[in-house]
Structure 1
Amino acid sequence: MKKSILLLFVMGGIIIAAAMVRDPYPVMDEPRNNYVNDIRHESIEIQNIDTNEEPRSIYLTTIPSRVFVCDGVLLNTLIPLGIGDRIIGASISNTASGLYENLKREYPEEIKKIPHISSRLISREELISYQPDFIIGWKSAFSPHRFGSIRWWEARSIPSYVVATSNHVKKSATIEDECKFLDDMGQIFDVQEKTNAVIRDIYAELEIDWTDDRVKQQDVMVVEVDGNEVMNYDEGWIVGDMVRRLGGRMPLQSESAGVEEMILQNPDVIFAVYFDERHRAQSEAFFRNVRLNSLRAVQNKRIYMIPFGYIYTPGIKTLDGLRAIKKGLYPNM
């Protein structure tokens, strides 16, 4: 009798444990969409770079239909382009959580087309289970402790695309780099009509009447608040090129910017990058600190909150980023 009770107890424990563990990355044996045989009339060559900024080519004879995306910020571009049903999965870091919530509200049907969206960074072994035919990611995704090298995937005939404005792949990222990303996505997924329209709007937004008396060079800081610490975005990031092209100047080139450094620089305008609404509230509270009351930007109420997705690998959101920065620089125009 005791043995029977013990056996039931052990079996019950196993059942409970099994119920608690859910494998969110099942191997997907069957195609999940109607695009598997989507063959091009001719192959295309996409010029890209590897994680060391070395040039490389990607050759495609079909439009990818099992795409894995890392990081979630990139969905800001791919979802509005209407290719959600070509995405097999995506991983979203904490920096993209707020953007993902916005996408769910703006494009609920398109988001539903993506079978798996992970709220954590996944490993190479987990990515293999998705059986991707194309990978798009930040430089950091192709590190040894994540997906492994691009060459590893290429050896298995799975092309990978590195976003050039991520993780300082390029020492000085530009708007042209972001427009190339858009053009590449247009070619890869055969949506060039959409991407061409966005690229035209981006360049139109850069047009400024430099003879206007209200247009003058201003010192700008773009920062990211983390508790009492402050990260500084220098001119090497794409946001630096945005600011420069719109008439601003970013004098501080170091990565960190404490309170003392901000007071020393005393910029005319500060853009505070935020990830979600909670982070936005924390950033707003930071700038209410009396220690910062001497800042020109505080005194003149020229501290502006800007979403992370507007300034980091922004893709389609490059246009929103330019508009937000232009409005902050020239509020009376």
Structure 2
Amino acid sequence: MMKKVYIFLLLGALAVFSGCTNESSPISRDYFKEAPISQLATNRETLDPPITISNIAVENYFRIGTNEQTFINVPNRIFVIGASQIDTVLDLNMGQAIIGAVKYEDSKEYPIKASNQNVYKNLSFVSRSQINIESLLTLQPDLIIGEESWYSKNKLGSTAYWNEKGIHTMVTPGTTHPMKVAEDETVEDQMEYILNLGRVFNQEQQAKYIVDATEGRIKEIAYARVGKKKPKVLILDLLSATVSYGSNKVAGDLVNRIGGEVPYTTAPISDELLMRENPDIVFVVTYDSDTELLDSLLKKPQFQVLNFVKYNRVYAIPLKYVYGPLSRTIDAAGYMANYMYPDEFNFEKEYDFHK
């Protein structure tokens, strides 16, 4: 009986790792310690004193309250889900602790940052289809960093399940369908999450640097716009229904902070509501069919009288800039400002936190 159990577990482990790439490659860069993942697993840095973090409790897509966890050691077996999450962990100089990640991008034009590519390309990747409770248990993580939407019945279940097994979870706020969260989601949430990761990783100085630079850019744009007309902006995702990231979502809050005016809206909106709002600018979350999605708005006969159509002010925006942007918030602010105020700003595409 024991032999059968051993064979079953061995086959399970082989099935999981057959979907990984670069699984034995050490992750290295001049600002990272050079050490293979297998060696890092034995190097446990103690947090003295232990760090208690308040995060999100999630079960089957829905946020069910707060989740307080105490970290005694710096995590060194991290599994990461989400493009912005990967960039943020790498921006915090913790690439050497990532034992696995889900490799997926929401925009070919805006992939993982160039400043993180040398580390990113050597990570061990697991396909989206392989992520479930059984496969993740095989990897033996000590921390899961990921989006709210992955805590579903057929994927990760609940944060409580993992915490009860001694595996920490750090769920990124603002990373599930807008219709599934009633609470306000803000830029401040994103910054607090980065600071908490900094505390857990013993990278507080780097986390503060990221937050200070991000808040500095937001203030720079806001200061330049004082006393000027605020353009009305809508941020839309054209799913099976038109979904709006209103003023109570991260992207809406960010636009309002840099001198725009995003109205409060319900998550799903109708054409009639869009016409009543008559936005000056529309950002549309795009994937691989940018022109098609933008044209679907511009060509609607009923929209021809609206400001954003008359002045051709509809712009694509990658999902990572509206959906839990974390350390990409600084890039999102620059991207939005460049389109909202083209004669005033010309921010670089990506901010390098390793300079």
Q: 1:62 aligns with which of 56, 66, 73?
A: 73
Aligned-partner Cα distance in 1 for 2:278–2:317: 19
Aligned-partner Cα distance in 2 for 1:203–1:262: 31
Q: CA deviation at 1:241?
A: 0.9
Q: CA deviation at 1:231?
A: 2.0
The reply to whether residue 32 of structure 1 matches residue 46 of structure 2 is: no
1:59-208 alignment, distance < 5 Å: 59-92=70-103, 96-98=105-107, 102-103=111-112, 107-120=116-129, 122-167=131-176, 169=181, 171-207=183-219, 208=222
Conserved 8 A contact 1:99-1:309: no
Conserved 8 A contact 2:280-2:313: yes
Counterpart of 1:332 in 2: which secondary structure?
coil
The reply to whether residue 239 of structure 1 matches residue 246 of structure 2 is: no
Aligned to 1:23: 15
Conserved 8 A contact 1:92-1:120: no
Aligned to 1:46: 53
1:252-263 alignment, distance < 5 Å: 253-263=265-275
Aligned-partner Cα distance in 2 for 1:164–1:113: 27
Conserved 8 A contact 2:57-2:160: no
- Shift of the 326–138 alpha-carbon distance from structure 1 to 2, 3 Å rule, reads same
Counterpart of 1:32 in 2: which secondary structure?
helix
Aligned-partner Cα distance in 2 for 1:205–1:134: 31
Aligned-partner Cα distance in 1 for 2:38–2:148: 28
TM-score (norm 2): 0.76
- Shift of the 103–33 alpha-carbon distance from structure 1 to 2, 3 Å rule, reads farther
- Shift of the 212–176 alpha-carbon distance from structure 1 to 2, 3 Å rule, reads closer
Amino acid at match of 1:307: P
Aligned-partner Cα distance in 1 for 2:253–2:334: 14
Aligned-partner Cα distance in 2 for 1:32–1:146: 26
Consecutive aligned runs of 4 or more in structure 1 exceeding 6 Å deviation? none
Number of residue pairs matched?
305
Q: CA deviation at 1:328?
A: 3.1
Aligned-partner Cα distance in 2 for 1:210–1:100: 28
TM-score (norm 1): 0.81
Aligned to 1:221: 234
Q: CA deviation at 1:99?
A: 6.2
Counterpart of 1:301 in 2: which secondary structure?
coil
- Shift of the 170–34 alpha-carbon distance from structure 1 to 2, 3 Å rule, reads farther
Q: CA deviation at 1:55?
A: 2.7
Aligned-partner Cα distance in 2 for 1:193–1:260: 48
Counterpart of 2:243 in 1: which secondary structure?
strand
Aligned-partner Cα distance in 2 for 1:130–1:23: 12
Aligned to 1:18: none
Q: 1:283 aligns with which of 284, 293, 302?
A: 293
- Shift of the 189–139 alpha-carbon distance from structure 1 to 2, 3 Å rule, reads same
Aligned-partner Cα distance in 2 for 1:23–1:192: 38
CA shift digits 1:13-65 (9 cap, x unpaired) = xxxxxxxxx8243699x963425323225122222231235233221122211
Q: CA deviation at 1:303?
A: 1.6
1:4-19 alignment, distance < 5 Å: none
Amino acid at match of 1:280: D
Q: CA deviation at 1:110?
A: 0.7
Amino acid at match of 1:46: I
Conserved 8 A contact 1:132-1:158: yes
Aligned-partner Cα distance in 2 for 1:323–1:212: 17
Q: CA RMSD in A?
A: 2.9
Counterpart of 1:271 in 2: which secondary structure?
strand
1:262-273 alignment, distance < 5 Å: 262-273=274-285
Conserved 8 A contact 1:164-1:170: no
User: Which protein has the larger Cα radius of gyration, Structure 1 or Structure 2?
Assistant: 1
Amino acid at match of 1:68: F
Amino acid at match of 1:239: A
Conserved 8 A contact 2:246-2:252: yes
Aligned-partner Cα distance in 1 for 2:269–2:225: 34
- Shift of the 198–105 alpha-carbon distance from structure 1 to 2, 3 Å rule, reads closer
Conserved 8 A contact 1:33-1:65: no
